[in-house]
Amino acid sequence: MTATANPYALLSDATQRWLIDVYFRARAVIRDALDQHGRAPGLGVAIARARVEFLERELRPVVEAVALAGTPVDCRRGCTSCCTLKVEITPDEVFALVAEVEATLDAKSLAEVRARAVEVDRRGRGLPPGERYLLRMFCPILEQGSGACRGHVVRPAACQGYLSLDHRRCDASSLGAPKTISSPVASGLIRDAIMSAQIIVLQEAGYDQSRVELSAGLAAAWGDPAAEGRWLAGGRAFPSISSLQALEQDRVK
């Protein structure tokens, strides 16, 4: 079989038209959030809230359809298997998470999150995703006792659009027994279309959209108080992480 350079070419014309519509409506939502907030601190939160609401609305028919088909989405609070996955996010998503936990956590809890981000970044730096996953390093934003995401209202698109139809397979996989995770195809397509819209709109407006690993981004943001201001001014948010990205790319080759 000959591989295609464009996997979307395998989709029907109707599906492609639907995704294009999702993409352009997402662009309008992100552009509106950007225009309303302006180039000011807190922009990441404004964009995240707009995107979370839009993606949630677009996913709702998918969730309803798989439930009617007898295979409902099996994700729920307290199910944390996917919270050990390597998640790559953009600077605006990093700053949204930072702002959310700083606004909602007490000093002790915030200090724990910050220390956890540094530790997870240190242990996972440069590791291939599979090796990292098996270390069972939970996301620093996760409250492990309750299984609650402390940044849920501004969670990254990669997290929000990750849906499982069987949490038992997720649990088994996270413990080292490889399993295929069943997920609605449509949810991944919608997530990717909206993520692309968000990245491209921000790139067009002059904002750095270099993707970083979540923990590394949090550690870098808290370690460099000038990061958000530099990003808002059109500079690279986390220049210190570029060598990490190059290292990871070399290890994959």
- Residue 189 to residues 16, 55, 186, 241, Cα–Cα distance (Å): 10, 11, 5, 29
Say how many residues make up the chain: 253
Please give the Cα distance from 234 to 232 (Å, whole number): 5
Taking alpha carbons only, the member of 145, 144, 121 closest to residue 218 is 121
List CB contacts of 249: < 8 A, sequence separation 6 or more. none
Please give the Cα distance from 99 to 145 (Å, whole number): 22
Which residues, in sequence order, are bridge partners of residue 149?
Answer: 142
Question: How do the pLDDT tens digits run along the chain, 253 residues long?
Answer: 344 456 567 888 999 999 999 999 999 999 999 999 999 999 999 999 999 999 999 999 999 999 999 988 888 888 888 888 889 999 999 999 999 999 999 999 999 999 999 999 999 988 888 788 888 899 999 998 898 999 999 999 999 988 888 888 888 887 777 678 888 899 999 999 999 999 999 999 999 999 999 999 999 999 999 999 999 999 999 998 864 444 444 444 4
Please give the Cα distance from 231 to 39 (Å, whole number): 10
pLDDT value of position 7: 59
Taking alpha carbons only, the member of 168, 157, 174, 128 closest to residue 52 is 157
246 residue type, one letter: A
